[in-house]
A and B are shown apart, each in its own frame.
Chain A
Amino acid sequence: AQTVTQSQPEMSVQEAETVTLSCTYDTSESDYYLFWYKQPPSRQMILVIRQEAYKQQNATENRFSVNFQKAAKSFSLKISDSQLGDAAMYFCAYTPEDYGGATNKLIFGTGTLLAVQP
């Protein structure tokens, strides 16, 4: 069975600094997709970044980037120039390929609560 593990329940970062959130996963599939979602107190899950497993290049979205290590089954999120609005729960998620692409039947980790100190 596929699993997603986030070993950091809480993290803290100073405003304008860089922080890295860790995620490992387990799967026997060769084609799959990985995601990072942000969940603020409003409870709405917001997609931060996604990575296709067949792509060797790490995904980047503005201040957010990932370090995808397929052999190690590791998928960490780096947030640069942290802002107060980045404070939230962050969830790592996995889905296998289906229908020729990523479905939205996601397997989530337990989350990391990120605090941003002014």
Chain B
Amino acid sequence: GAGVSQTPSNKVTEKGKYVELRCDPISGHTALYWYRQSLGQGPEFLIYFQGTGAADDSGLPNDRFFAVRPEGSVSTLKIQRTERGDSAVYLCASSLTPARSQAFFGQGTRLTVV
């Protein structure tokens, strides 16, 4: 695609529910990143994929968070048993290679847990 696409743009869910956030990277980009941006903060790294595998998941806050990229393209961030503290904008970025290439960001999914 022309850019990184994230769906949905906004998501409201009830505490305790399960949510999935989708990221469509730029075609051909092998590296994909998830960030979380809480209100008034800069984005914080969650996880990075190189191809289908999670190369670095050190930023995932706990085991309620999980992400997949089964075919090396689209990625889904999954959050179980959502909590109000999970409310944030979740940003996805992709780059042609893991290093020495610019990352392009999507417009994010604003998740609100009520």
Q: Which chain A positions have C-beta within 8 A of B107?
A: 42-44
- Of A24-32, A56-64, A65-73, A97-105, the one with at least 4 CB within 8 A of chain B: A97-105
Interface residues on B, range: 20 to 34
Tell whether, in the assembled complex, residue A104 and residue B42 are in contact, meaning their CB atoms are under 8 Å apart. no
Q: How many contacts A-B (CB < 8 Å)?
A: 61
What is the interface of chain B mostly: helix, strand, loop, or mixed?
A: strand
The B-contacting residues of A in range 100-114, CB under 8 angstroms, are 100-111
A43-85 near B? 1/0 per residue, CB < 8 Å: 1111100000000000000000000000000000000000000
Q: Which chain B positions have C-beta within 8 A of A111?
A: 41-42
Please report B residues at the A interface, Cβ cutoff 8 Å: 31, 33, 35, 40-45, 48, 56, 89, 91, 93, 95, 98-100, 102-103, 105-108, 110
Can you identify 27 A-B contacts, CB atoms within 8 angstroms? A44-B107, A44-B108, A45-B43, A45-B91, A46-B105, A91-B42, A91-B43, A98-B99, A99-B99, A99-B100, A101-B99, A102-B99, A103-B98, A104-B33, A104-B98, A104-B103, A105-B33, A105-B45, A105-B48, A105-B56, A106-B35, A106-B43, A106-B45, A107-B45, A108-B42, A108-B43, A111-B42
